[in-house]
Amino acid sequence: MGKNIVQKILEPHIVEGKWEPGKEIGIKIDQTLTQDATGTMAYLQFEAMGVPRVKTELSVSYVDHNTIQIGFENADDHKYLQTVAAKYGIIFSRAGNGICHQVHLERFAKPGKTLLGSDSHTPTAGGVGMIAIGAGGLDVAVAMAGGPFYLTCPRVIRINLHGKLPPWVSAKDVILKVLEIFTTKGNVGYVFEYGGDGIKTLSVPDRATITNMGAECGVTTSVFPSDEVTKAFLEAQDRVQDWVEILPDPDATYERIVDINLDELVPLVAYPHSPGNIKTVRELEGLPVDQVCIGSCTNSSYKDLMTVARILKNQKVHPNVSFVLAPGSRQVLLNIARDSGLSDLLAAGTRLAESACGFCIGNSQAPATAAVSVRTSNRNFEGRSGTKDAQVYLTSPETAAAAVITGRLTDPRDLEKMGIPYPHIEMPKRFYIDDSMFIMPAERPEEVKIYRGPNIGEPPTNTPLPETIEGVVTIKVGDKITTDHIIPAGDKMKYRSNVPKYSEFVFAPLDPKFYERAKQIQASGKHNIIVAGVSYGQGSSREHAALCPMYLGVRAVIAKSLERIHTDNLINFGIVPLTFKDESDYDRIEQGDELEIPNIRKALETGGAIVVRNKTKGTEFEVAYNLSERQKAAILAGGTLALMGKR
């Protein structure tokens, strides 16, 4: 039987299990990437493993999230990361070199290989035909140490793109359409594989915009074939030697096939506060706009920014709009400068930001009170921008540029009526390439002394799972709770390597009293338990959304359903992920209820049923768990590091 692309790449990488969708497999990881916000903890964990050198083909450590450097903490972390990279054989991408996903796509992503990254948008590299997966830092540390990465063997959905995008409609509108079809929940365990005659009209950065935001659907990853378009991109990056053709077999089979006609697409927008809230720009046109931010790992490529530059040529930023642009990489910046896009942008009144995550993670450019912010990034969760009541709309660069000019949400097709023609930007045959902001690993690693600033603490560990969990429902939350709700980023992100301090902000966006309550319950010798609705743990890969709750004594999460990366992170830190067998039990439980989960160790060891007793209400109900033997062993031991220590 014919094979799809996912199977063609994954099968030769399987080191445990076999290709059987729905069952756990362990795969060999060829490349890893980390970024500074998740990287410090990942390298602390890697150091704890006592491996002298990374065992991957390539590992890169990027500094792109915390580059704001208010206070010493960020800069200290950067120095730590630089010295660790030098010692252990990791390429270091300095602050200013760009956003990990954009830079990786340009310089390192290779068709046919596997990439594991401690960032949920790692699937961006799927744009060149590689299987690129986001995970918690500990999983990436294990991969750097040569261990397998475990995942559920995916079910593959084929998305056929037909025809050609009309002018003013671009890759972002394609993925917003996909989000409209699949929404942000219910896609755990799937991979999107793109195909159809339309893909040949999409450049690699277009494809990467689409695979990047597959993360918002919650799929394991997204992938395009590696074809002539991929070859041309790699040639332009002076690395055609990395190209191999990867196409699905004509008789490949899929779980489901979805067709999208590119010709019929129109400019779309994700309205507040979820990337899954889709409307056409037409439906919302005229909305006054206060801020426009163009950039992020979704839409900050050469083509995106040259398109914006040409639209804004001889135009001025509307007086009511604050317009910020952050190029995805230093390469993008140098190339738009070479091709005179940068001068057009500056002449229009652009506020140029560093090539970094910046506004996207809310550590700068917070909008004004209740302001409308139009952004080309991928997440518009409430408060993520840094302003709780800001209204963030996600659009294509074309739609964002139209708002820059008119000061209103505007269908970019209307710009033609204003005498602005659609700029058809060609991909360069050869990019201007300058790798001087990568620092190669030390030739004499034994001479490298690792720098540890005062903000860097030891990674905390958990204790083995007790026989019985005696706890309290410290918080009951609703549906689609994101990791930004569980542990906010923004200005708090500088505490990523200081878990005791960072833990003070657990659930702060939802309930600022959570921390105090959790501490009290912990001090009374009881466990903290989180109760949640559907799709708990959406969004980022940050393992601090498990690590910090663990530090505060959270021992179990009972939800209607959980997202993939967050579930893995909970297990890695010894927190039991449980789901309601009967969802109506969720309605019968309240914050503050005392719960007992008797003999939970035994149940996990023997595969028996887990029953929760609600001592406050005098009721009991059964919960489900879907854990492999390896995952059970990790939870019983108190987490993956503890399990590795035992072994």
CB neighbours of residue 185 within 10 Å: 17
User: Which strand (E) or helix (H) includes residue 557?
Assistant: strand 554-559
For helices 302-312 and 330-338, angle between their N-to-C axes, nearest 10 degrees: 40
Closer to ligand SF4 at the Cβ: 119 or 568? 119
Per CB under 6 A, contacts with ligand MIC among 129-148 are 134
Residue 378 near ligand SF4 by CB under 6 A: yes
Token readout for 626 is 């879907």
> 357, 366, 390, 472: which one contacts ligand SF4 (CB under 6 A)?
357
Q: Note whether 108 and 513 are within 8 A (CB).
A: no
CB neighbours of residue 453 within 10 Å: 15
Closer to ligand MIC at the Cβ: 203 or 567? 567
Q: How far apart are CA 444 and CA 417, in angstroms?
A: 63
The partner in contact with residue 631, picked from ligand MIC, ligand SF4, none with C-beta cut-offs of 5 to 8 angstroms by kind, is: none
C-alpha to C-alpha distances, 511 to 508, 578, 619, nearest whole angstrom: 5, 22, 27
The partner in contact with residue 542, picked from ligand MIC, ligand SF4, none with C-beta cut-offs of 5 to 8 angstroms by kind, is: ligand MIC
How far does Cα 83 stand from its chain's mean position?
Answer: 25
Among 211, 207, 62, smallest CA distance to 140 is for 62
Q: How far apart are CA 432 and CA 640, in angstroms?
A: 43
Per CB under 6 A, contacts with ligand SF4 among 89-128 are 99, 119, 121
Closer to ligand MIC at the Cβ: 137 or 327? 137
Query: For residue 446, what are the contacts with CB-CB under 8 A and spacing of at least 6?
Result: none
Closer to ligand SF4 at the Cβ: 30 or 64? 64
Q: Is 138 helix (H, G, I), strand (E, B) or coil?
A: helix
> 377, 395, 535, 572: which one contacts ligand SF4 (CB under 6 A)?
377
Query: For residue 29, what are the contacts with CB-CB under 8 A and spacing of at least 6?
Result: 13, 56, 114, 115, 116, 143, 148, 149
Q: What is the closest distance, in whole angstroms, from the C-beta atom of residue 134 to ligand MIC in the complex?
A: 6
Residue 37 near ligand MIC by CB under 6 A: yes
Query: What binding mask, one character per residue, do residues 437-456 give for ligand MIC by CB under 6 A, x or -?
Result: --------------------
Q: CB under 6 A: which stretch of 118-126, 403-411, 606-614, 628-636 binds ligand MIC?
A: 118-126
Residue 64 near ligand MIC by CB under 6 A: no
Per CB under 6 A, contacts with ligand MIC among 470-509 are 489
Helix spans in 185-319 (H): 204-212, 228-236, 281-284, 302-312
Q: CB under 6 A: which stretch of 76-84, 159-167, 355-363, 408-416 binds ligand SF4?
A: 355-363
Closer to ligand SF4 at the Cβ: 183 or 378? 378
Query: What binding mask, one character per residue, do residues 321-360 give for ligand MIC by CB under 6 A, x or -?
Result: ----------------------------------------
Q: How far apart are CA 354 and CA 459, in angstroms?
A: 30
Q: CB under 6 A: which stretch of 270-278, 400-408, 448-456, 538-546 binds ligand MIC?
A: 538-546
Residue 219 near ligand MIC by CB under 6 A: no
Q: CB under 6 A: which stretch of 74-82, 134-142, 354-362, 524-532 binds ligand SF4?
A: 354-362
Closer to ligand SF4 at the Cβ: 327 or 471? 327
Per CB under 6 A, contacts with ligand SF4 among 509-568 are none
Per CB under 6 A, contacts with ligand MIC among 542-561 are 542
Among 293, 291, 282, 283, smallest CA distance to 318 is for 291
> 34, 59, 97, 120: which one contacts ligand MIC (CB under 6 A)?
120
Closer to ligand SF4 at the Cβ: 545 or 600? 545
CB neighbours of residue 212 within 10 Å: 32
Q: How far apart are CA 313 and CA 348, in angstroms?
A: 7
Token readout for 318 is 């509307």
The partner in contact with residue 301, picked from ligand SF4, ligand MIC, none with C-beta cut-offs of 5 to 8 angstroms by kind, is: none
Cβ neighbourhood burial of 647 (10 Å; 0-12, 13-18, 19+):
exposed
> 4, 203, 221, 296: which one contacts ligand SF4 (CB under 6 A)?
296
Q: How far apart are CA 513 and CA 475, in angstroms?
A: 10
Buried/exposed code over 570-594 (b: 16+ C-beta within 10 A; e: otherwise): bbbbbbbbbbbeeeebbeebeeebe
Q: CB under 6 A: which stretch of 119-127, 425-433, 448-456, 471-479 binds ligand MIC?
A: 119-127
Instruction: Provide the terminal-to-terminal Cα distance of the chain, rounded to the nearest Å.
Output: 40
Residue 361 near ligand SF4 by CB under 6 A: yes
Residue 540 near ligand MIC by CB under 6 A: yes
Closer to ligand SF4 at the Cβ: 121 or 172? 121
Residue 119 near ligand MIC by CB under 6 A: yes
Question: Which residues are registered as beta bridge partners of 329?
Answer: 98
Per CB under 6 A, contacts with ligand SF4 among 162-201 are none
Q: CB under 6 A: which stretch of 9-17, 225-233, 321-329, 534-542 binds ligand MIC?
A: 534-542
Specify the amino acid at residue 129. Answer: G
For helices 330-338 and 341-348, angle between their N-to-C axes, nearest 10 degrees: 90
Helix spans in 600-639 (H): 600-606, 629-637
> 145, 333, 361, 546: which one contacts ligand MIC (CB under 6 A)?
361
Q: What is the closest distance, in whole angstroms, from the C-beta atom of residue 553 to ligand SF4 in the complex?
A: 29
Write down the residue that tokens 């500088």 correspond to: 494
Residues near ligand SF4 (CB under 6 A): 65, 99, 119, 121, 296-297, 357, 360-361, 377-378
Residues near ligand MIC (CB under 6 A): 37-38, 65, 119-121, 134, 361, 489, 539-542
